[in-house]
Amino acid sequence: MMADDDRYPQRRRRRRRLAFSLTSLASTSLLLLGLLLGLGFGLYYAWILEPVSFTEVSPGRLEEDLRRDYLYLISQGFAVDGNVARARQRLTSLGATDMANLVAAELALYVRTGRSAADVANMAHLAAALGVQNETVALFAPTAVSLALTPTAPPVSSATPTLLPTPSLTRPPTATPTATQTPFPSATPTATPPPVYRLLAQERLCFPAGEAPLIEVNVLNAFLDPLPGVAVVVEWDGGRDQFFTGFKPAGGPGYADFIMALDTSYRVSLPAGSPTISGLRAEPCLDGGPDDLSGWQLTFQNLIIPTETPESDGG
C-alpha cells in the first residue's frame, strides 16, 4: 500500500516549502537578534565601560558657550595676576584674530545681560589692557591717576655768625602814616562746562497697589539709541545710591530703576554731567485706585555727537 506522500506529491512539496520557510525565518531572527545584542553591547562598552575622553583639545575648537566660559576665565585670571602677555597668549589659543574687539563685544554682552558688577569690571580691565577705549571701559576700569610726588632733599641751613648792630642813641624820625587804598581782588571768570546730558522727558507713572513705586531712568545717546553702563545717582536726606543702566535686560540696555519709599524726596542726576531733578516723591495716584502710588520716569539724552577722526592719506 502506498504512503500518502507517494500518492500525493503536491502535499510533499508543500511541506518541504513550509519547512524551508520556517528555517529561513529562524535564521533571519537569530541574525537580527545577534545584531541587536552586538549593537547594545557596543554602545554599553563605548558609553559606560570605556567612554571616549578627549584630551589636549584646543579652546578654539570648543562650542560657542564653552568659548565664552573660557573667555570669562581669562578675565578672572587677569584680574588676579594682571599679566597682559599671559592673557594675550590665552586669547590666541581661542583663535581670536582681533582680541580687542572680541573682549569689547563680550563686555557689551555682560552689560546687556546684567552680569554682576565684579564680572563686568574684570572684563573691562581686560579690555582696557588690550587698548579698548569706550564709555563702559572708562566707567568700570578707570585709569588710575598717579599722585606720587618727586622727593626733594630738605634744604640744609648753614649757620653763619653775624654781629649784632651797635645800638645808637639817635632817635629815628617818626613817619607819618598815610592812608592808601588797597584794591579789592577781582574774581577771574571761569567758563562753566556745558552738561553732557539733558533731561529729555519727565513723566509721572502710576503703580497699582502691591507694587513698589519706582524711579525709572532711561539714558539715550545723541541719536536716541539706548546707552548701557551709564552711572545714575539718587540722593535723599541722609542717603545716596549709585547704579548703572543696562543691568535689567527687561527694560532695555539704557534702562535702570530705583525703588522709592514713602515720605521721602529724591534727587536724580548723572555724574557724567546733567541737571539734577529734585522733588521726586511717591504719592497717591490721582488717576488710579485709592492704594495706587505714583513713581517717575526720567529720560536723559547725551548731547555729544560722536565724530569719526578722518584718516590722513599717505604720500
Of 140, 155, 171, which residue is a domain's last? Answer: 140
| More confidently predicted of 119 and 287 | 119
274, 202: one domain? yes
Question: Is 227 buried (19+), middle (13-18) or exposed (0-12) by CB count in 10 A?
Answer: buried
CA dist list (Å): 34 to 21, 28, 50, 73: 20, 10, 22, 49
Give this prediction's pTM: 0.45
**pLDDT tens digits for range 211-231:** 999 999 999 998 888 999 999
Of 94, 124, 140, which residue is a domain's last? Answer: 140
**pLDDT tens digits for range 54-97:** 565 677 677 888 888 988 999 999 999 999 999 998 888 888 78
Cell numbers given for 269: 542726576
pLDDT of res. 266: 96
Of 118, 140, 162, which residue is a domain's last? Answer: 140
Residue 274 lies in a domain: yes
| H helix intervals, 45-63 | none
Structural domains of the chain, count: 2
Q: Sort residue 25 into left (φ over 0), alpha (ψ -120 to 50) or beta.
A: alpha
- Section 33-42 average pLDDT: 85
pLDDT of res. 299: 96
Helix, strand, coil % over all residues of the chain, rounded to 5: 35, 20, 45
126, 203: one domain? no
- Contact status, residue 260 vs residue 266, Cβ threshold 8 Å: yes
- Which domain does 129 fall in, by range? 59-140
- Contact status, residue 213 vs residue 312, Cβ threshold 8 Å: no
